[in-house]
Amino acid sequence: MRSEIERGVFWGLELSGLLALAERFSRGLAILAYHGVTDAPARPGGNLRRLHIPGARFEEHLRLITRRYRPVSLNEAVGTLTAGATLRPRSVVITFDDGYRNFLTAAMPRLLRFGVPATLFVLTGAPTQRLWQDRLEVMLEASREESISWRGSSLRPGSGGDPSALTTLRTRLALLGPEREQALGELSALLGSTPAEPDPDRDLLSWDELRQIKAAGFEIGSHADIHEPLTERPRQRVGGELRQSREVLERELGPARYALAYPYGAHDPGAMHAAKEAAFSCGLTTEAGLNDARTPLFALRRMLVGLDHDASRLRFSLSGARALLPARSRRSVVYGG
Ligand SMILES: [Zn+2]
């Protein structure tokens, strides 16, 4: 219901010319944060994080961006900001977090076709290991158990079951930290083990594939070593872990100006300082909004783009029109980060 109302608001703004007006006066740099583009049919139990957008929709986005905006690479945009120069109006940077294989299979061919640059942020610690959220999704989807009882919760898994099983488990596992592996092992035993089928919407890219992506002209950055918030790690470890993450990128991909996207967008003054000390070029958050020369380089704003963004909603986000609305209606949908 809410999305119907929102769609009405976007159409209203578009028709009233307010969007075109906001676009005309927009001076900020928009940075978009995608996670994946999928060519797979919609799955009943999968994609519940609403992160991977269908290929056709991504093409709508690219059509909008190339027609009404100016796509630039992150390095170019950051270079302009640090030089104190003015970015050209309606500049847009596209980024992808987590390093899903579908960047290579579904996003990159379309980016190349439209001539749009992008930066991909990858985990430098164990790049090919699936994220626990995806392992959990696969376990639940493939399970033949009608119901299980785990640590006091009664759950109905499987694609025909209750989708809240995934939501409940994701919430509980997110809080576990280092104990999460043990919990995943318990769940795997209860749900029945599943063979690891290749899946570009869940597998992460290997270094060989990342070199291929770099050779095609795309920038690669760090999403830290592992997908855990920097703000919840022991303070004294963060600096060393980030420095090592940048060194791994240099070793695997060669010397370059590497940017950092904070896992889950989570940052605080300590994490920002550590990112700067580790010689990253900038730090990207998932706080919505546009950037200009006054935005701190280690707290650049990005807009998360997920399954709910059709082209008109994306245009609304890019235009800066959000700032024209009362603060109460500015709440944005939160995706995985
Ligand atoms: Zn992430």
For range 252-262, the mean pLDDT: 97
| Structure token pair of residue 326 | 């009362």
CA 88 to centroid of ligand 1, rounded, Å:
29
| Structure token pair of residue 108 | 């990159």
Whether 230 and 187 map to the same domain: the answer is no
> Is residue 199 a part of any domain in this protein?
no
Task: Provide the domain limits for residue 174.
Answer: 132-191
Kindly report the length of the chain. Answer: 337
CA 212 to centroid of ligand 1, rounded, Å:
21
| Structure token pair of residue 191 | 């749900």
pLDDT confidence tier of residue 85, bands split at 50, 70 and 90: confident
**Which pLDDT belongs to residue 25?**
64
**Which pLDDT belongs to residue 335?**
44
Whether 146 and 83 map to the same domain: the answer is no
**Which pLDDT belongs to residue 308?**
78
The count of structural domains within the chain is 2
Whether 40 and 113 map to the same domain: the answer is yes
Half-sphere exposure at residue 196, Cβ-oriented, CA atoms within 13 angstroms: 9
> Is residue 152 a part of any domain in this protein?
yes
Measuring CA to CA, which residue among 101, 99, 73, 100 is closest to residue 87?
A: 73
Whether 148 and 68 map to the same domain: the answer is no
Whether 300 and 152 map to the same domain: the answer is no
> Is residue 336 a part of any domain in this protein?
no
Query: What does pTM read for this prediction?
Result: 0.89
CA 19 to centroid of ligand 1, rounded, Å:
30
> Is residue 21 a part of any domain in this protein?
yes
**91 φ, ψ (degrees, to nearest 5):** -75, 140
Whether 9 and 100 map to the same domain: the answer is yes
pLDDT confidence tier of residue 331, bands split at 50, 70 and 90: very low
CA 206 to centroid of ligand 1, rounded, Å:
16
CA 8 to centroid of ligand 1, rounded, Å:
31
Whether 80 and 218 map to the same domain: the answer is yes
CA 47 to centroid of ligand 1, rounded, Å:
15
Beta partners for residue 33, in sequence order: 95, 304
∠ CA(20), CA(25), CA(27), 5° rounding?
125
Between residues 40 and 118, the one the model is more confident about:
118
* CATH code at position 247: 3.20.20.370
Whether 112 and 17 map to the same domain: the answer is yes
Whether 96 and 208 map to the same domain: the answer is yes
Angstrom distance (rounded) from CA 132 to CA 121: 18
CA 12 to centroid of ligand 1, rounded, Å:
33
* 8 Å CB contact between 285 and 267: yes
Whether 55 and 123 map to the same domain: the answer is yes
pLDDT confidence tier of residue 166, bands split at 50, 70 and 90: confident
